[in-house]
Chain A
Amino acid sequence: MAALPKRILKETERLMSDAPPGISAAPNNDNLRHFDVTVAGPDQSPYEGGVFKLELFLPDEYPMNPPKVRFLTRIYHPNIDKLGRICLDILKDKWSPALQIRTVLLSIQALLGAPNPDDPLANDVAQNWKEDEKAAIAQAKEWTRLYANGE
């Protein structure tokens, strides 16, 4: 494998030494472009108290192209589908090379605090969210308790 670019080394270093609150990200030993990530559910959100596992991969074109990020923990959220894929503009067309792993993870954490059912990825969840928000939030809490308990 080619040597890691300086940018990735620096980012990794900073993530290890000075991770944002509620977020951890550590490179995989086998592939330093592959990160094991955990994100804590934001306070006052249905995901509060949950610890969500994600995987993050830096493609060869990074940082010109965005990292690939996916939830590994099941989550009931209108912008995250069954496979853990995330609908987030900065991971797609709004990506800027000036963004970093930490900013991406913070954005994902913010997305948990502010679900957007008008721009859905998981259609059934989004529909539920719009029709009966209370029930949807209860469901999200239940899933958080069941799946995001850090085990």
Chain B
Amino acid sequence: MSSDEDANDYFEYEDDGFEDDEMDQEAPVKKDYDVAYNVKTLSQVIDMQKKAIANIQTVLELDASTAAILLRHFGWNSEKLQEQFFNDPSKALTDAGLSPPSSPSAHTSPLLPPTASSSTPPRITRSSKRVATPATTRSRSAVSIQTSFECPVCCIEYPAASLSTKTLALGCGHRFCRDCWVEYVVGKIRTDGESAKIQCMENGCHRIVKGSLIDQLVDPDTSQRYRKLLNEAFVSDTATLRWCPHPGCENVIECSQAPPRMLNQIVPTVTCGCGNELCFGCGFAASHRPVLCKLVKLWQKKCADDSETANWLQANTKECIKCQSTIEKNGGCNHMTCKKCKWEFCWVCMGPWSEHGTAWYQCNRYDEKSGMDARDSQAKSRASLERYLHYFNRWANHELSAKLDADFYKNTEKKMEAMQQSGNLSWIEVQFAKQAVDTVIRARITLKWSYCMAFYLKRNNQTELFEDNQRDLERAVENLGYLLEQNPEPDSISKLRADITNQSAYVQKRHDILMDDTLKGYLERRWEFSVDI
């Protein structure tokens, strides 16, 4: 093959690559198993709440803070709220911690001066539940001169003249001093992390402290925390919303196509505005495709339970089976060459690498027949541990490879620089290497989870097909990883570039096949698992 032809090959691929990229950005191809979703910013989430509140406000003819408390009580379920409110407004209001509206009482207890001023919200006059005390019959002017007030919480006495500035009561009429209110509300927000359900201080009183009052009482910092907690409660109450789990990201994903009952047939992987992937179904902070959320949870629990044994068995180093040199894998592919004796072997199965390049590649497949021979329970449990370790080791191995991402990128970057210098290539012409690394890493994550999948699959023909796809992808990835480890020599760069580009496209194809087939398999109910899903 002449170098001109090589160059043509390469350009063809490069063009393809660019087209694909553009396609991805402009019109992402939606597959059967993908879900539609929106990424919302925090301010959009706040707007959603405002909109819902405004809607209820109009429909039920209430003020905004009452509508907000009702919505929070009903878990932001507008339909349920409207239904219950139309059935029995006073019950709905009382349940939500609000007293039903009533005409302002002519009688006023001494602890409830209607002259409630700046520090006391006006709703104080709407109180309907009053504790009858002998004082209620006295005239107000006489009371305000004679009666001082002792706060039931701190027992400090307040002269009548300072009642309106130093003390306050919610609509329920339970009066306490302002200082105690502040301490109480700040404690609820800061220590208990409460927001929508902060109730009156009186024992057994379910009256909710409104947001506007909380803002008046607490410092700006606590107020901000209160608002944040309210947003968190809104998102966790709304089934179609989920926070992005990635650190520092405040986005929320909205998706109505992945309710819990669907999670036995879809894996709703979404990409947040911050660029990271997450699972909308379970909140896992990365893609765990093609494995169902429930299996991921089971797998993680199992790994946590058995990890000590696995750790003990799977040391960080392995010994070369030919010369017993201790070998540490510090990145790259699973095709190992012993520095001392030049023995080539597979890091995963420790078998000779020569077998891996041929059609009888069996590294990915655990031979279940050996487990059948187990006669007594001890042998059975050993077999089950071995079976688990088989999958766990392969899973962990890809996990480890993924953790070495940063090094992989760094090494590749160095090589890209070298290629630019020695091969007279432009910056854009060496990007194929970075793209290939992206492909390898993505495929490794899928491979990692494919071992979790295989662990739970029952042995049948479908599983064999799955493992065939898995094997093909794994072999392709190892080949590509091996190519990327090569040091580019000036005279072989163009060949290496063509090889990598070819292999990268092949890996991509194998990856898509595995993913498509597995995810479609859920919809077609093709997979049978050894556990209940």
Report which A residues bind B (CB closer than 8 A): 5-7, 9-10, 61, 63-65, 90, 96-99, 103
Contacts and interface: CB of A to CB of B under 8 A. Distances in A.
A98 B154 contact: no
Interface stretch (B125-133, B179-187, B386-394, B422-430): B179-187
B193 interface: no
Interface centre among B184, B187, B201, B203 (most CB of A within 10 A): B203
A96 B202 contact: yes
Contacts of B203: 90, 96, 98-99, 103
Contact of A7 (B153, B187, B201, B205): B153
Given A90-B203, A103-B203, A97 B180 contact: yes
A65 B192 CA distance: 11
A121 B205 CA distance: 26
Nearest to A11: B155
Given A61-B187, A64-B184, A7 B155 contact: yes
Contact of A96 (B155, B183, B201): B201
B156 to A, nearest CB: 6
Nearest to B156: A6
B357 interface: no
Q: Lowest 6 CB-CB distances: which A-B pairs, in order?
A: A96-B203, A7-B155, A97-B153, A6-B155, A10-B155, A98-B202
B358 to A, nearest CB: 61
Interface residues of B, number: 16
Given A90-B203, A103-B203, A97 B156 contact: no
Contacts of B174: 98
A42 to B, nearest CB: 21
B351 interface: no
Contacts of A98: 152-153, 174, 176, 201-203
Given A97-B176, A97-B184, 14 more contacts: A7-B153, A7-B154, A7-B155, A61-B187, A63-B153, A63-B154, A64-B183, A64-B184, A64-B187, A97-B180, A97-B201, A98-B201, A99-B203, A103-B203
B373 to A, nearest CB: 44
A135 B9 CA distance: 88
B300 to A, nearest CB: 29
B154 A6 contact: yes
Interface string B372-415: 00000000000000000000000000000000000000000000
A15 to B, nearest CB: 14
A89 to B, nearest CB: 11
B28 interface: no
Contacts of A99: 203
Contacts of A63: 153-154
B204 interface: yes
> Which residue of B153, B156, B176 has the most chain A CB atoms within 10 A of its CB atom?
B153
B202 A5 contact: no
A110 B201 CA distance: 23
B45 to A, nearest CB: 28
* A98, A99, A103 interface centre (most CB from chain B within 10 Å): A98
A111 to B, nearest CB: 16
Given A5-B154, A6-B156, A63-B153, A96 B204 contact: yes
B152 to A, nearest CB: 5
Interface string B430-460: 0000000000000000000000000000000
B195 to A, nearest CB: 15
Interface in B117-146: none
